[in-house]
Chain A
Amino acid sequence: MKVEFHRVSQSFGSMRVLDSIDLSVRAGEFVCILGPSGCGKSTLLNIVAGFIAPTEGEVSIDGVPVSGPDPRRIFVFQERGVFPWLNVEQNIGFGLYRLRDGEKRDRIARYVQLVGLQGFEHAYPSELSGGMKQRLEVARALAVDPDVLYLDEPFGALDSITRLQMRRELLRIWEAEKKTILFVTHDIEESVQLADRVVVMSQRPARIRRIIEIDIPHPRDLSAPRYIALRDQLFAEIGLAHQV
């Protein structure tokens, strides 16, 4: 098991946000954490990333309890996480301070290619679109070659067309680099399109309602019966009729 959550609970003052979360994630797995906004799923991600300590319970990675942020597990924020005072190259190279210059340059060039930002190496984030900034953030995260990636609704600020493109990009990168990914979202379709397993969270105080396996191989056909059946299962689990 790569990541293990053991009875993780979180309270802020008297408000109980997470209630006894138990979850195991395998190495190389793509797991989506699905739930309505404000249910505590971002808190869960911040806990496993080491930015918050859980009130109760423990998270461990490779058997070692998490005690703080670590460059082996990079958190991808929404596109406002990129550093506005650095250009594309400098952002991607941010975590590479231990490498020699030549190696660093090669690594940066490789990830610029990977996320499709060629030609924009010297551009500043203020000159980039939302989608490009998000790709920049992913490149910065990947450049340090982490084991695990945490993504907190990374495509939330993008328009729906860009979102579809970004999901395809992310899956391409995931299959190429074989990282373990924990992806928080409130978008049911997104979770079915991306994940190996979807962890459905309840409202606050958040518990795991159900874990659903998505056993469709990639690339996933959005009209296939199996896809639709799984998506409907999730709709039902969340408690929504799929008619507007």
Chain B
Amino acid sequence: MRRSSFVGIAIFFAAWQVAVTATHATLVPGPLPALAAIGELARRGLLIKYIVASLFRVTWGYFAAVAIGIPSGIALGLWRRGELAVNPFLQILRPISPLAWIPIAILWFGVGDLSAIFLIFLASLFPLIVTAMHAVHNIDTVHVRAGSNFGLSRAQLIRSVILPAILPQLIVGMRIALGIAWLVVVAAEMIAVNSGLGFLIIDARNAGNRYDLVVAGMILIGAIGVVLDLLMRRAERLDFVRWGYAQQ
């Protein structure tokens, strides 16, 4: 993030403050009350606790999706018959909002962390499967032929040619899926958990119309989301994937 980004954000906050004062809005808080609310959370010892709770759920759900989704996507990409068989069902499940799974999640996992993690898992799973599948389809045939020419077995071919070749696209897809997971954490935490940034937003509104806390929650979610995205972009600069972005 360059210096101009901070200037841009500062201008945004200023404009926001102006808008709030100018319209004498009573319910919508300006940036200052929101930032004060963040301070209040810190004092009550909740700031770190809520951030960690949300990150914890996202981490588990996201990594479960990575562990299951990427190998599945690669397998489907390599096995044309498997893809033809399974793809229509993937396409039907994909447009179903994670929230729509809440009743089923509660039925299967009860109320609490596991349900929330399940929702995050679902939300990240489909984009990851699709990314891995497309990445495999987009491999240059030349490289696969070269690999098999050197006498590689199927397993060696996957390890030495296919995986390195798809890694750049996979990492971009993983970054996008992480963004989705973080988006969904708000929705996922509506399932009667009692910690986390999404919970903060829902609870602050229900228990006393504390809109400064709501906006504080939004600011925190936005900021952490940006940090996560920047961290993932770091991964795109590593040597063994950087080649994949130069050719665009």
Contacts and interface: CB of A to CB of B under 8 A. Distances in A.
A75 B141 CA distance: 13
Contacts of A33: none
Given A80-B142, A85-B164, A85-B240, A71 B246 contact: no
B142 A95 contact: no
Given A83-B164, A85-B167, A126 B243 contact: yes
Residues of A contacting B: mostly: loop
B243 A125 contact: yes
Given A80-B140, A94-B160, A95-B151, A85 B243 contact: yes
Interface residues on B, range: 20 to 34
Interface in B157-216: 160-161, 164-165, 167
A174 interface: no
Dominant SS among interface residues on chain B: helix
Nearest to A97: B156
A74 B239 CA distance: 28
Contacts of A75: 145-146, 149
Contacts of B143: 81, 83
19 contacts: A51-B148, A69-B145, A71-B150, A75-B149, A77-B142, A77-B145, A81-B143, A81-B146, A83-B146, A83-B161, A84-B243, A84-B244, A85-B164, A85-B241, A94-B160, A95-B151, A126-B246, A126-B247, A144-B150
Interface of A: 49, 51, 68-71, 73-75, 77, 80-81, 83-86, 94-95, 97, 124-126, 144
Interface of B: 140, 142-143, 145-146, 148-151, 156, 160-161, 164-165, 167, 239-241, 243-244, 246-247
